[in-house]
Amino acid sequence: MRSIAIMIRIILQFKHDKRTIALMIFAPIFVLTFMSFIFSDVEYHPKIGIINAPTSFVNKLEENDAKVMRYDESNAHEALRLSEVDAMINFKSGVPEVQLEGSDPAKSKVVLMLIQKVNQPAIPAAQPDITYFYGYEDMTSFDNFGPVLIGLFVFFFVFLISSVAFLSERTSGTLERLLTTPIRRWEIVVGYVLGFGFFTIIQSALVAWYTIHVLDIIMVGSFGFVLLITILTAMVALSIGILISTFANNELQVIQFIQVILVPQVFFSGLFDISTMPTWLQLVGRIMPLSYVVDALRSIMIRGKGWEYIAIDVYILMALFLFFMVVNIFALKKYRKI
């Protein structure tokens, strides 16, 4: 009977915690819905640029559902540089010269298998000459996913640690004591961000350095730009973590928020190819901070791009950080009106 009494007490506690009940019921449904779109077994159809190709070869590509685009030699290089195509095929003297975009080994493999399938019956004697615009032939999946993992782990651990730490400040009464002083809300938020930010910057730098120099992941561009992106990633995660902890009553609720804050970002971070998803779902991915983090890191580490190619990603991450800082300032009204 005493066990029954304990059971009833726990049930009644959950009854008064509607947020926990809602997260327990709807968060898994939310995540599973995303997974149904991502793992829908939609086949990837490569984008292939063609220069001076025989009609029979082009027809074969289109019959195999490739997206064929015609270029001339003057704009083919630009299309590869901007990653508008997965490969460029140029027939010189009747011999196909294949230049793969190369930043994604999985897409390169699809293109090579398709060319092998199409080329044999179309032009039996011609063996394609294959080169890589980005990356290299033996590029591993870890080289491709490395920038994703750097951004993901920095974001995840900073979010988790900052949200739990700020919650501890609240539950221990430290935040309430600060709010009884003349200090303003923005000063509190800036102080916490600078305090936690000191350690998150160190963490970000160490993660980036270790991945590149110890794990020997592909690194073509500037390490300074990688460091800039990882620090911005940490600061965005820090500001979101503080915001979430403002609305969480305990550590359990912080963990539950991971399902709705972090898990969707994993799906849109680049670990999975979103180009096969519905267009509206791809647009959803553009509001996820990690999509800009990964876009910038891949541009730097795999494609060797400079500031002009990552500037938009940097500005968006800075804007997100400032936005969540402002939201945090107003969120403190929950505890004291100044």
**275 and 215 together in one domain:** yes
Structural domain ending residue among the three candidates 132, 153, 188: 132
**159 and 112 together in one domain:** no
**98 and 215 together in one domain:** no
The residue assigned the tokens 């972090």 is 262
Distance in angstroms between the alpha carbons of the first and the last residue of the chain: 51
Give 158's Cβ-side CA count (13 Å radius): 31
Long-range contacts of 202-205 (CB under 8 A, 24+ apart): 203/154, 203/157, 203/158, 203/234, 204/154, 204/158, 204/230, 204/231, 204/233, 204/234, 205/230, 205/231
pLDDT recorded at residue 17: 65
**237 and 315 together in one domain:** yes
**169 and 260 together in one domain:** yes
Tally of domains in the chain: 2
Hey, what are 50's tokens? 């063609």
**167 and 300 together in one domain:** yes
**88 and 200 together in one domain:** no
Radius of gyration over every alpha carbon of the chain, rounded to an integer in angstroms: 25
CA distance 61 to 118: 7
Which residues of the chain have a pLDDT value below 50?
Answer: 122-124, 336-338
**101 and 182 together in one domain:** no
Q: What is the pTM (predicted TM-score) of this model?
A: 0.78
**196 and 82 together in one domain:** no
How long is the chain?
A: 338
- Residue 131: beta bridge partners? 99
Strands 95-100 and 87-92: antiparallel
Domain-located, residue 166: yes
Domain-located, residue 13: no
Range of the domain at 233: 141-334
Domain-located, residue 330: yes
